[in-house]
Amino acid sequence: MTSAETGINGINIYKYEFTRGFPIPGFIIQHILGSSGNKVVFRFDLSIVYEVIKEQNDIFLIKLLIDNRVLRKMEINKDIFNNKIDDNSMYIIMNNNVYKAEIFLNNTYTKLYISPSMKSSTLNINGIHMHQIIKMSPYKDSERKAYYAKIRRGDRVLDICTGLGYTAIAALKRGASSVVTVEISNHVLGLAEVNPWSFYLGSDKITIINNDALNILPRIRDNIFDRVIHDPPRFNIAGELYSLSFYKEIYRVLRPGGLLFHYTGQPLKHRGRGLGPIVKGIKTRLQQAGFIVLRYIQEVYGFVAVKPR
């Protein structure tokens, strides 16, 4: 979807470029360090596969494949892993150096997190995971959100809070004709560029806007999107994205009959029966904005709402 179609002009579009280095989970590095076999294959979400082939002594050939296509391959000596390797982190091999995929900025620590039991990575910000990691994998979590938004072939989708881009990618996989996705943090988008599960953010059907959604939505013309997925950080981190004024903007850009999926989490559930006071307040504000709230989806902790025709 072009800026002219959305009505957004004068905004720089973020060009996603997958890393030139070699991204690899820490637990695969640990396998290399302790390997005695010849070949091991690791399979993940989104048809991502790592092949580790021991060639001789301490020399390994590692391949990263997506949809049976070799995206990266590298021959390494395991001696390059001379620092402590964390099982639950992603690393980037570049120019014979090894870097952890992490950012320290303004008292905020953000990293790509993936454990040996996970099939895709997630963002971890100050110890908080941005996706489910126990009941389902992070990508499957986003896939379910796209499912409950009932995205159909040909839909125009707005994805608020890109993160690693899984929701935008899941929308595309369900047949969306275009996805506009908004992310305030260029550092988060930088981590997405070294994350193999974010590779499809480079699709020409996905438009990434690196800006504050509070600034962007008022500049989008009315009734343009068929579906909106609103997947903000926690209420105590980004309360303005749960405000009545923001919900009114989402309502305005959604076409009549269009669906909203709004992730809420379950803050303060312990303080009352059912959803808890914060989530109940979210429901009330959605209704005040004009939405008909259809139901709360316990599986993915969010509301499905519709804009009346």
**Nearest residue to 46 via CA among 181, 224, 215, 169:** 169
**E strands present in 184-298:** 206-210, 225-230, 254-263, 292-297
The residue to which tokens 């959803």 are assigned: 275
Q: What angle do CA 149, 153, 154 make, to 5 degrees?
A: 100
Whether 267 has a pLDDT exceeding 70, the answer reads no
Whether 37 has a pLDDT exceeding 80, the answer reads no
**Global pTM exceeds 0.75:** yes
* φ, ψ (nearest 5 deg) of residue 93: -95, 120
What is the model's pLDDT at position 213?
Answer: 97
Write down all domains in the chain, each with its CATH number in brackets: 3-17+133-306 (3.40.50.150)
Rounded Cα distance between 7 and 180, Å, is 12
What is the model's pLDDT at position 274?
Answer: 57
Q: In the numeric block, which tokens belong to residue 203?
A: 């699709």
- In angstroms, the Cα distances linking 201 to 13, 172, 195, 197 are 13, 10, 10, 9
- In angstroms, the Cα distances linking 255 to 105, 282, 306, 309 are 38, 21, 10, 8
The residue to which tokens 């997947």 are assigned: 231
Rounded Cα distance between 121 and 114, Å, is 5
Taking only the tens place, the pLDDT of each residue in 234-259 is 888 888 999 999 999 999 999 999 99
Taking only the tens place, the pLDDT of each residue in 199-233 is 999 999 999 999 999 999 999 999 999 999 999 98
